[in-house]
Amino acid sequence: MESNGIDRDEAAAQLAALQADRAALADRVVAPWWYDVALGLLLFGFLASYAFDSLWVTFPALVVFFACVSVLVSAYKRITGVWVNIDAKTMAIWVAVVLTVLAPAFWLAEAHDQHWVMVPAGAVLGVAVALFGRYWGRAYAAELRGER
């Protein structure tokens, strides 16, 4: 093994500095509580707009949703200095939750003209994305700290 002129104590000090940087990053990556609440409210608002059964309501809600999500992404990047990607397993779980809620809601809304169901579906998914975000952020921070 090549030492590149670094002795054991210096290597240990560099390793400790890397571990301290990783712990500091772990503290930064957890979004503030308002971030997850805002994301949940945005998702709720967008999905609830389907209850009006009008593109004049849903399309502007979609534009507002994407504009506000882009502001949230920018705020997260500014606050934390990083952007994190969700792994495939986590995304698969989220997609399963979304499909479990939205498939019957869309079926009732479109096939049976019960558009009001999009309001509780939006509420369920809004709360779910907020809780999911809190859980995932803390799990990612724990992983960075080496706790998982």
Q: Is the pLDDT of residue 6 over 70?
A: yes
In a domain, 81, yes or no: yes
In a domain, 122, yes or no: yes
In a domain, 130, yes or no: yes
Q: Is the pLDDT of residue 10 over 90?
A: no
Write down the pLDDT at residue 140: 84
Give the pLDDT mean for 32-52.
96
Expressed as residue numbers, the domain containing 84 is: 8-145
In a domain, 63, yes or no: yes
The span from the CA of 20 to the CA of 24, in Å, is: 6
In a domain, 36, yes or no: yes
Burial 53-87 (b: 16+ CB within 10 A, else e): eeeeebeebeeebeebeeebeeebeeebeeeeeee
What does the pLDDT look like over 54-104, one tens digit per residue? Answer: 999 999 999 999 999 999 999 999 988 888 878 898 899 999 999 999 999
Task: Name the pTM for this structure.
Answer: 0.83
Q: How many domains does the chain have?
A: 1
Write down the pLDDT at residue 137: 87
Write down the pLDDT at residue 3: 59
Q: Answer whether 62's CB lies under 8 Å from 52's CB.
A: no
In a domain, 29, yes or no: yes
Write down the pLDDT at residue 2: 55
In a domain, 3, yes or no: no
In a domain, 1, yes or no: no
Write down the pLDDT at residue 86: 81
